[in-house]
Chain A
Amino acid sequence: MSKDQIIKSNFKTEEYFINMGPQHPATHGVLRLILTIDGEIIRNIEPDLGYIHRSIEKMCERDSYQQIVHLTDRMDYLSSHINNEAVCLVVEKGLEIEVPERVKVIRTIIAELTRIASHCLWWGVMGMDVGALTTYFYAFRDREMINDIFEETCGARLTMNYNIPGGLMFDIHPNFVKRVKDFITHFKTKIPEYDRLLTGNVIFQKRTKGIGILTKEDAISFGASGPVARASGVSCDIRKIHSYSAYDQVNFNEVLFTEGDSLSRYKVRIQELWESLSIIEQLIDNIPEGDIKVQTKAVIKLPKGEFYQRVETARGELGVYVNSTGTKNPYRLKFRSPGFSNLSVLNKIAKGYKIGDLVAIMSTIDIVVPDIDR
């Protein structure tokens, strides 16, 4: 008889509830998980949402399209530029505006920088969640360089609001190209350092390898997207499938793994850092000259109809559904946020594991709570 079986036969265990959050460092925001546990084994996870729900969709129904762009920063704040882009693209689709090539390229470069910044933050926090404090400082050092670039060009470090329907708010700063190139040179030496520090670490591998396995069928059925789905072998990169902005001008690989465990979700994001660097490198020397916006009317009225735009944020697929009746406000606007669907897989993949594993699994799902609560 094994040790576990002896304990089980001698002690009767009972299931009980425990709250994880809403104020818990591992939930990365105000998310409450109601755990049903037996000893330390998780039997059921029920997320309790809405602690920071602001009803952005309702606010959108009374706002103009320019105002809506600003609200989207506050959903997934780590992909703020990409969120802005989604709304701008859907408005441009409705107005049938073709933005200048210069705008497309700049948007793409900044979107990829945003992705790197987001993955950096994720990597730092991921390390911390499994007990490695150093990663946090390494990642924030590198992320700081991107934030400085944003500050110089966009005027803000996090919620940038650089996109407007029809183009960009202002042109890039004269230092932009040089600083981005400096960053690429710097960061290329740092990703191998990330690998040496955490990826190959035995303790880290034991915490993530074979833990929290999401099958391909479940990933599709749960509507998972982004690195979570790609780690399970689902090809779902919107940049490739429904290409937008300048993604059709660059060569990059969609990173796919098939294991579906925590470690492969981790590896997808590390590989994506390289892919993002490669996209920026292909574009940074060839930013076309030209206008930075197409002048739109002060009051934008979308024609009657339905418009849908999908973009790939750092977390996965963001969809914006606009139902317009031809007025200056949308009749109904829905954000299909990647975090919301990705969170729903949690109960499926973390059942049967220990609470410590849940922390690692949640970290690899990369939850941003305002994105779920909207």
Chain B
Amino acid sequence: MTNQEIQHIIASWSDKLEFTEEESEFLNVIVPKEELYTICEQLKANTDLKFDYLFCLTGIDWGSALGVIYHLESTTFRHNIVVKVKISDRENPIVDTVSDIWLTAEFHEMEVFDFFGIKFNNHPNLKRLFLPAEWEGYPLRKDYVDEVNMVIK
């Protein structure tokens, strides 16, 4: 299925979605965080799309906002899509989990929580995955400073 056809199907679900193909090899869809869960659910369930394989889940710090990027593929049709969600509240960033839609998200979301401090609603086991529980701050955020362990050029 071409990107246009995919976009056509998804655009009918909500009018708050933004689509872009600029500066990326995939079709990108920016989803408001309130609608993330329902959109993701439909992306997997829709029989024409069947995005059943979440092959990458990335946390990102855009400066003004934090974000999560979901790379999806359909193992049946082999088409791809990138879902992005922006979270503007840096102090208490919360977004819904997708770990019951794609089980792999459970570990990946723990990693994002560990390094970006993004909390995932309804996550079964949200805690620091790599760092010790008492670690302060979130190292992959751009404003993170650790004068002892970081080499700043």
Give CA–CA (A323, B140) in the complex, Å: 14
A288-331 contact mask (Cβ, 8 Å, vs B): 1 or 0: 00000000000000011111101000000101010100000000
Given contacts A49-B129, A306-B23, A344-B106, contact A223 B54 (CB under 8 A): yes
Which applies to chain B's interface (DSSP): helix, strand, loop or mixed?
loop
Number of A-B contacts (CB under 8 A): 83
Which of B24, B102, B129, B153 contacts A62, CB < 8 Å? B153
Q: Mark A319-352, 1 if CB is under 8 A from B, else 0.
A: 1010100000000101010001101100010000
Cβ of B52 within 8 Å of any chain A Cβ, yes or no, is yes
Distance to closest chain A CB from B76 (angstroms): 10
Number of interface residues of B (CB under 8 A): 35
CA of A317 to CA of B53, assembled, Å: 12
- B58 contacts A by Cβ under 8 Å: yes
Are A50 and B131 neighbours in the complex by a CB distance under 8 Å?
Answer: yes
Q: Which segment, of A52-60, A268-276, A353-361, faces chain B?
A: A52-60
Tell me the bound Cα distance from A250 to B46 in angstroms: 36
Q: Is the CB of B56 within 8 A of A57?
A: no
The answer to whether B58 and A332 touch across the interface, beta carbons within 8 angstroms, is yes
Q: Is the CB of A234 within 8 A of B23?
A: no
A221 at the interface (CB under 8 A from B): yes
User: Which among A221, A305, A310 is the interface contact of B23 at CB below 8 angstroms?
Assistant: A305
Residue count of chain A within 8 Å CB distance of chain B: 38
Q: What mask results when residues 21 to 41 of chain A are scored 1 for a CB within 8 Å of chain B, else 0?
A: 000000000000000000000
- The reply to whether A223 and B75 contact each other, CB–CB distance below 8 Å, is no
B55 at the interface (CB under 8 A from A): yes
> Which residue of chain A lies nearest to B144 when distances are taken between CB atoms in the complex?
A58
| A236 contacts partner chain B, Cβ-Cβ < 8 Å | yes
A306 touches B75 (CB 8 A): no
Rounded to whole angstroms, the CA-CA distance of A332 and B111 in the bound complex is: 15
Sample of 11 more A-B contacts, CB < 8 Å, known A53-B130, A220-B75 = A50-B130, A55-B139, A58-B140, A221-B103, A221-B104, A319-B56, A334-B56, A334-B58, A336-B55, A344-B106, A348-B103
Q: Which 9 A-B pairs have the closest CB atoms?
A: A305-B23, A223-B104, A50-B130, A336-B56, A334-B58, A221-B103, A306-B24, A344-B107, A53-B130
